[in-house]
C-alpha cells in the first residue's frame, strides 16, 4: 500500500510543480497571450499568482499530512494570521515555501497591489491581495474574481481585497 501512496504522491507532486511552474512563468512575464486568459496582463498575473500560491500551500499539506503548525488551526497547512505569503513555512518540512528549493520563488505582486497575505484561522485558510491604486486595481480584481467565480466559489471581494479561500 505504501508503494501505491508513494507513486500517487510522486505524480501529485509532479502535477503541482508543473502547474506552479506554468503559473510562475505567466506571472513573471507580465503579459499573457490573449488566447490563454483573454484578460489584461494584471488580471492574468493575479490569477496565475493566486493559483501558484494555492498549489504550493495545498502541496505542503498533501506531501506532509502529519505536519503540525502549532496553532491548532488546519495544522498541516502553514500557520499564520495576516502574514506575508513570502514568510510561509511548511510545517511538515520546516522549509519556507519560496526559498526556490524546487525552482520556484514568489513573484512580485502586480502593480497597484500590496504583497499577498495569508490567513489560517478557525474558519479557513485563505490568501488575499489588497488594491492600492484605485480604481484601476479594483477593476482588475473584479475581473479576477469573475474568472475564479466561474471555477471556484471560494473567491470573494471584500472592500479593496481580493480573497481566495483555499479548499481543505
Question: Which residue is associated with the grid cell 484605485?
Answer: 134
Number of domains in the chain: 1
What is the chain's pLDDT, residue by residue, as a tens digit (168 residues)? 555 555 545 544 444 444 555 455 455 554 444 433 334 799 999 999 999 999 999 999 999 999 999 999 999 999 999 999 999 999 999 999 998 778 889 999 999 999 999 999 999 999 999 999 888 888 999 999 999 988 777 899 999 999 999 987
> How far lies 10's CA from each of 37, 91, 131, 136, 143, in Å?
29, 19, 37, 41, 35
What is the residue range of 96's domain? 2-166
Q: What is the pLDDT of residue 8?
A: 46
Amino acid at each position: 500500500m505504501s508503494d501505491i501512496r508513494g507513486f500517487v504522491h510522486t505524480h501529485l507532486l509532479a502535477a503541482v510543480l508543473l502547474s506552479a511552474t506554468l503559473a510562475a512563468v505567466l506571472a513573471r512575464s507580465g503579459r499573457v497571450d490573449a488566447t490563454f486568459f483573454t484578460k489584461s496582463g494584471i488580471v492574468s498575473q493575479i490569477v496565475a499568482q493566486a493559483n501558484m500560491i494555492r498549489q504550493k500551500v495545498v502541496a505542503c499539506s498533501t506531501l506532509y499530512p502529519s505536519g503540525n503548525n502549532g496553532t491548532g488551526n488546519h495544522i498541516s497547512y502553514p500557520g499564520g494570521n495576516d502574514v506575508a505569503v513570502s514568510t510561509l513555512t511548511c510545517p511538515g518540512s520546516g522549509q519556507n515555501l519560496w526559498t526556490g528549493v524546487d525552482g520556484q520563488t514568489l513573484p512580485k505582486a502586480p502593480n497597484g497591489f500590496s504583497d499577498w497575505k495569508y490567513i489560517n484561522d478557525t474558519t479557513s485558510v485563505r490568501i488575499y491581495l489588497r488594491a492600492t491604486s484605485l480604481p484601476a486595481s479594483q477593476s482588475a480584481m473584479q475581473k479576477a474574481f469573475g474568472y475564479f467565480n466561474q471555477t471556484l466559489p471560494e473567491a470573494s471581494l471584500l472592500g479593496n481585497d481580493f480573497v481566495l479561500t483555499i479548499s481543505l
